[in-house]
Amino acid sequence: MAIFNIMRKPSVFRCCSVLGLIKRMSNVPENTVYGGPKPQTPDQRVTLTHLRKKYRNGEPITVVTAYDYPSAVHLDTAGIDVCLVGDSAAMVVHGHDTTLPITLDEMLVHCRAVARGATRPLIVGDLPFGTYESSAQQAVDTAVRILKEGGMDAIKLEGGAPSRITAAKAIVEAGIAVMGHVGLTPQAISVLGGFRPQGKNVASAIKVVETAVALQEAGCFSVVLECVPAPVAAAATSALRVPTIGIGAGPFCSGQVLVYHDLLGMMQHPHHAKVTPKFCKQFGRIGEAINKALSEYKEEVTNSLFPGPSHSPYEISASDVAGFLNELRQLGFDKAASAAAEAAEKMAKVVPPNGGDD
């Protein structure tokens, strides 16, 4: 009856009262109701507007490919402009020889992990092989999932065949930002005959430029140029009105991208040595540090050096030890009581009283 009584009140008051009542009746907490996108000021979140401004000002754009929460946090801290969640996770994380095996569901797991860690960069998710080639509708459906379920800001797709151009255009028209990718397109190794650089002759070089322009005209906000000669990349960059992101394409692009694990020198295993591209500069030797740390850990555990007193901080008082031993013996655990007594005696010799946390 309350709501009907409200309806008989003056219109303005009635409107406000009904809205207030409905709001109070909602089972959704007020602070979870959607209130627009996350803050997108340049200091808080990189957007397409921010990238366009850098492009117009001639400021190089930094892009890193990463696949999980910890690496996303590192990118965030370093102030990287764009984080690409690449289908190269198939090779770098899952150990495959190509990018082809990774599924959409697997990509979504990587996307969500990165989205939780990268609060500042623009985050772009790759469309994996087999999820957008059949039709423009399939491409749009996949792109929608990457944004809605993966938490991405934009998507990237490979290639410049007519069907890919159509797919890119359809995705843009659906309201989703698209990054293009030409040159060496790893998903097309079946046709390319392996991981082979492109643009090394006249016809191939012209195709790189024309394909990049076609992707721009389809609405792509940026185009990745992979494994092409520097003059070809320079020509494509000059021909476009959107940023180019180079990877193995020389210094004349609008920005550069490398894989997190590659640039850190994380992969020292022979499998990764054969798939780490020769154009990659290792800005660190993290893999060596990891191997050294693991070897030292193994040695200390094997020789009973870890954990020592400083890493065994939790104490039990002498009176509680006595009570504990007594209870163990009453329960028939004499051997366990002896082990506990011996451990307590040893720790008492090396751990200062009240030296640990409760």
> What three-state secondary structure class fits 348?
helix
Please state, as a whole number, how many other Cβ atoms lie within 10 Å of the Cβ of residue 297. 11
DSSP annotation of 282 reads -
Which position among 133, 226, 296, 345 bears the catalytic label? 226
Hey, what are 354's tokens? 């009240």
Peptide bond into 197 cis (omega under 30): no
CA 221 → CA 50, 102, 241, 286, distances in Å?
Answer: 12, 25, 9, 33
In the three-class reduction of DSSP (H, G, I as helix; E, B as strand; rest coil), residue 213 is classed as helix
226 is catalytic: yes
Amino acid identity of residue 354, one-letter, is: N
What type of residue is 261?
Answer: H
**Runs of H (alpha helix) within the chain:** 2-7, 11-25, 48-56, 69-78, 89-92, 104-117, 136-148, 162-173, 189-192, 202-217, 230-239, 260-263, 270-275, 286-302, 318-330, 334-350
Q: Is residue 156 a contact partner of residue 127, using CB atoms and an 8 Å limit?
A: yes
Query: Can you tell me the distance from the alpha carbon of 323 to that of 334, in angstroms, rounded to the nearest whole number?
Result: 14
- Which residues form the catalytic set? 226
